[in-house]
Structure 1
Amino acid sequence: MNRKKTASLCLIAKNEEEHILSCLNSAKQLIDEIIVVDTGSEDQTAPLAREAGAKVFHFPWTGDFSQAKNFALEQAASDWILFLDADEVLDPVSRENFEQLLYRSDIEGYFLTIISYLGNGHEVISDRVVRLFRNKPIYRFQGAIHEQVAQSIMQANDGRGLTDAPLVIRHYGYLASESRKKNKTKRNTLIIERELKQNPRDPFLLYCLAVELYQQGDVQEGLNCLEKALHHLRGTEGYVEDVIHQMAVGLLHLRYWGQLISFINKALSALPQQTELLLIRGLGFYHTGHYLAAAQDLEKVLQQGGSASLPLYHVLGVLGDAYNLAGHYAKAEKAYFSALGQSTRFLYPFTQLLGLVQGGRNTVSLAQFSRLISFKDNKFVWQELIKAGEIPLALIIILFAIHEVASGSGYEDILVQLSQELTSILARVEPLPARKESFEYLSVVAVEMDAYAATLAKGYHLEPLPAKKLLGLVEKTILLLVTEFCPRWSPQLLGVELKE
């Protein structure tokens, strides 16, 4: 019978009292020991780690991350190492699935997916890094910063022994609040520049410096570093795709459209299934007016499961715009409705659907809208719109919610609540900046809708007249609001920026 395989969780930390427990607890049920190396904390990091069951060691900070991490590896006694940063957490995974990874005799280490949250947390980047590997003295981290263990594993196994694992790590250290608090960018830049003085042609150091320059907003200088890195790459490095991706992101950020499309065309000849490159080229085509070419790339992105750097609903929104601007209105509607299916909070595609109605280019009738999208349980949507002063759009959404409920059955109480909500909003709102007669008509219709809703709620279903009358009134009122009270909606060339 095979001996049970064991795993040690290792990490280095300094002043991480706010994050250390979240990190340890995310993996605690999977591992057999916890090794924490403290590099000079002045807070409660070490005591908290001990209370969580960690073995805590102290190592003076030398300005070299690999030295500290390799010291942690020397303390570990298990068969395998799971290495996390203190500001990371491991996504939930069953112990059974985790242990299956430890019993593969042909594997020396695994690439895990790291999702890093940027800025205010709304943008993310994704990377693949070896974080789970066998505990062997020959496997050690290399590089003073953005240190990697993959190279030592590949060197020891003739380039073999690594594969992907379905494990996800979430990294919060790139959030603006964290970077400011720890002054990470300045610290990292100083370390990289020190190393580059000794190895000025090191492509990995040039790549790392580019990432830090991007974080500081100096995208042009970051691009210059990436160009140098590409020149010195052999093509077999594990981070080649990252360098290419960051190059494309920089070109997109600086709006170098021609250079961007030419660069990605060459890159895709070697990496035809690289989803992020397809997305960025699609955005390049979009911004240069090649809308069908943009749509083709965005469709491929969706076929491959979406992008790690742009939410699915946003990709669908841009796809809808591409088809809209190309005159393929039915395909535009399909993309916009799909975007709303992903998130009804993302109202941009909804306004573009209404824009198609305004221009008489819609193929989906207003009566069909409520079968394709649902707003009846999203009261917060119209409440936020009202706070923002977007009264006509808020009223339209309430009306679609009423239409959805009236088209079904068993929702009579909700129907009354919605119709009363509509009436109360109109009653407390100043006459909208449109025709006075139209506003008076809206007020009268709202009262009439309220009456029909009350009739339905009381169970007067001897004939379908109340429901049909209500649906007809709703559709006419929506059309009135869309055509007379709302701005003219059209694609706005969405300001999409992929974070580096």
Structure 2
Amino acid sequence: MITISVCMILKNEGAVLERCLESLLPIADEIVIVDTGSTDKTKEIAARYTDKIYDYEWQNDFAHARNYSFSKAQMEYIYTADADEYLDRVNIERFLTLKRAMLLEIEIVQMKYTNQLQYGTTYNYETEYRPKLFKRLREFVWINPIHETVNLEPIIFDSDIEVIHMPVKSHATRDFSNILKIIESGRKLSKKLFIMYAKELFIAGSDQDFLNAKNYFECSLEEETKGVEELKAAQCVLTKCARLTKDYNMILKNSLKNIADGKASAEVCYEIGEYFYEVEDYIEAAIWFYNAAFETECELNIHYAGDYPLKRLTEVYRILGNYSLEEEYAKLLDEWILPQSPDV
């Protein structure tokens, strides 16, 4: 049976921490808590479950804090958990079964992260696989009988364990604040963080969050190193910013570039539809909402290629007095369900 270190970084999680730690006790051989400055009862609650509690001076860097927590682990594998997660009885049993049967050559175990959309930030599906269990010390071995090379690809196992995510509030405000601090410090966002920033804006951002991001995404379009995925994301963000500020030249500039390669983003088509809807050109609005729903794919938020434009199409045809089309789109809206993640 493998041994497991549970590693957590915490700040003011007193409302949910006990639920999390109670569910992890059966699977943990040690629990490592890194506290980043709690002022509630977080450390007091944690002390009921472990004596391995470390104070950490926050550096506006979650990765650095995670690495610090991993450095304190002593077991064969590390399970990383957030305080607003927990395992129910069925999944504790699944985890214990995995723990007993785990093959030591497995380096990463992915688990189904559920209930993501209640307080969504950067995710489009209710359930998605996430890497959750990691081999603490990786062994590098040579492979291939000739033209030998070191195996650099990790061995990953997709388990049936479901980690239940039950936050008490959205983390979007915190995330946007941290990202803006990173940008202001002059540090470059990785491609992944760049895309996640755009996704979080479209999934959980307020109008003001978009406007706060406007200058950064405008500047990003001037960077020659940006790839197609990043450019598409920036065009989506800036098209919405342009609609919010009624900057029609900016709408044209970004939406036309997005559409020019023949692979228009649903978010851009939807925002053009919103522009025409706002100026009461409902026939033109319907064309763009239709494109969003049926002719394009989402770049950042799956709803922009689904229920959002279908709802608008229903409203447009009600205004136009075309009740048969209103009924047709109302039926499609009622039947629309969130697609399953392709990885689950």
Bucket of the pairwise TM-score, normalised by the shorter protein: 0.5 to 0.7
| Residue aligned with 1:217, SS | helix
Is structure 2 residue 50 aligned with structure 1 residue 50?
A: no
| Matching residue of 1:251 | 239
In structure 2, do the counterparts of structure 1 residues 9 and 258 end up closer, same or farther at CA, with 3 Å as the change threshold?
farther
Q: Distance in 1 between matches of 2:261 and 2:152?
A: 26
Structure 2 portions without partners, runs of 5+: 140-149, 244-249, 277-283, 338-344
| Matching residue of 2:342 | none
CA shift, 1:282, in A, is: 3.8
Is structure 2 residue 253 aligned with structure 1 residue 265?
A: no
CA shift, 1:32, in A, is: 4.8
- Cα distance per residue 1:150-201 (max 9 Å; x no partner): xxxxxx965665687775664748638x95xxx776566445533x2xx458
CA shift, 1:68, in A, is: 2.5
Counting only pairs closer than 5 Å after superposition, residues 392-411 of structure 1 correspond to structure 2 as: none
Is structure 2 residue 219 aligned with structure 1 residue 224?
A: no
CA shift, 1:35, in A, is: 2.2
| Residue aligned with 2:290, SS | helix
Q: Distance in 1 between matches of 2:30 and 2:17?
A: 15
Q: Distance in 1 between matches of 2:28 and 2:325?
A: 50
| Matching residue of 1:297 | 292
The answer to whether the 8 A contact 2:269-2:288 is kept is no
Counting only pairs closer than 5 Å after superposition, residues 419-438 of structure 1 correspond to structure 2 as: none
| Residue aligned with 1:61, SS | coil
| Matching residue of 2:71 | 74
| Matching residue of 1:132 | 132
CA shift, 1:335, in A, is: 2.8
With structure 2 as the length reference, what TM-score do the two structures score? 0.60
The answer to whether the 8 A contact 1:292-1:322 is kept is no
Q: Distance in 2 between matches of 1:160 and 1:203?
A: 21
Q: Distance in 2 between matches of 1:216 and 1:287?
A: 15
| Residue aligned with 1:254, SS | helix
Is structure 2 residue 312 aligned with structure 1 residue 318?
A: yes
CA shift, 1:257, in A, is: 4.2
| Matching residue of 1:89 | 85
Is structure 2 residue 20 aligned with structure 1 residue 20?
A: no
CA shift, 1:9, in A, is: 2.9
| Residue aligned with 2:78, SS | strand
The answer to whether the 8 A contact 1:39-1:59 is kept is yes
Counting only pairs closer than 5 Å after superposition, residues 199-218 of structure 1 correspond to structure 2 as: 199=187, 217=208
Q: Distance in 2 between matches of 1:186 and 1:321?
A: 35
Is structure 2 residue 335 aligned with structure 1 residue 335?
A: no
In structure 2, do the counterparts of structure 1 residues 234 and 38 end up closer, same or farther at CA, with 3 Å as the change threshold?
same
Q: Which amino acid aligns with 2:54?
A: H
CA shift, 1:47, in A, is: 1.9
| Matching residue of 2:144 | none
In structure 2, do the counterparts of structure 1 residues 243 and 292 end up closer, same or farther at CA, with 3 Å as the change threshold?
closer
Q: Which amino acid aligns with 2:16?
A: H
Counting only pairs closer than 5 Å after superposition, residues 59-70 of structure 1 correspond to structure 2 as: 59-63=55-59, 64-70=61-67
Backbone CA RMSD of aligned residues:
5.1
In structure 2, do the counterparts of structure 1 residues 78 and 264 end up closer, same or farther at CA, with 3 Å as the change threshold?
farther
The answer to whether the 8 A contact 1:110-1:162 is kept is yes
Q: Which amino acid aligns with 1:317?
A: K
- Cα distance per residue 1:49-76 (max 9 Å; x no partner): 232x345321331514333322211233
Aligned length: 298
Instruction: State the structure with bigger RCO (CA 8 A, min sep 6), 1 or 2.
Output: 2
User: Greater CA radius of gyration, 1 or 2?
Assistant: 1
